[in-house]
Structure 1
Amino acid sequence: MADSEHSSSDETSVDFKEETSKESELEFSEDEETLIIRMFNIVGERWSLIAGRIPGRTAEEIEEYWNTRYSTSE
């Protein structure tokens, strides 16, 4: 029984590490954040257009960043 408890604990720590690494991947500079906000106000949720203005960023990264940071679903 102790083995099954231990394995679920390991899974939890792996999930936490994955979430932490995702959050660190979504670190944007202040300039990038400002540009995302300005572009969002102009073009809305057209993430590929916004990503085209930020070298090295994908539309998915920007959308995920926006949804984690500015989502109004609370």
Structure 2
Amino acid sequence: MADLDHSSEDTPGDCREDNSQYSELEFSEDEETLIIRMFNLVGERWSLIAGRIPGRSAEEIEKYWNSRYSTSE
């Protein structure tokens, strides 16, 4: 029963998705610099860029890039 109560407080649904979305977008200054430099070299090849940043997925990097540098033109 305690496990059920705990899991109802820590709902892995919407709350967790919102929190993970924010944590995905938190990149260090070094990571940001590397992403920019790699993007200038290889373009939107997110998996190649992710391969140079331990612990980051291509999806995280693409979401980060689109949220920071996407052009609305």
* 2:49 corresponds to: 50
| Bigger relative contact order, structure 1 or 2 (CA pairs below 8 A, ≥6 apart) | 2
Read off the aligned partner of 1:23 and give its amino acid letter. Y
Residue 73 to residue 20, structure 1, CA distance change in 2 (3 Å): farther
* 1:41 corresponds to: 40
In the alignment, is residue 32 of structure 1 matched against residue 19 of structure 2?
no
* 1:64 corresponds to: 63
- Of Structure 1 and Structure 2, which has the larger fraction of its residues in helix? 1
Q: Which runs of 4+ in 1 moved over 2 A?
A: 15-21
Say which one has the larger Rg.
Answer: 1
Question: For this pair of structures, how many residues does the alignment match?
Answer: 61
TM-score (norm: length of structure 1): 0.70
Which 5+ residue runs of structure 2 have no aligned equivalent? 1-13
The share of aligned pairs that are identical, in percent, is 83
Superposed CA RMSD in Å reads: 2.0
CA offsets, 1:13-53, max 9 Å, x none? xx688545412332000000000000000000000000000
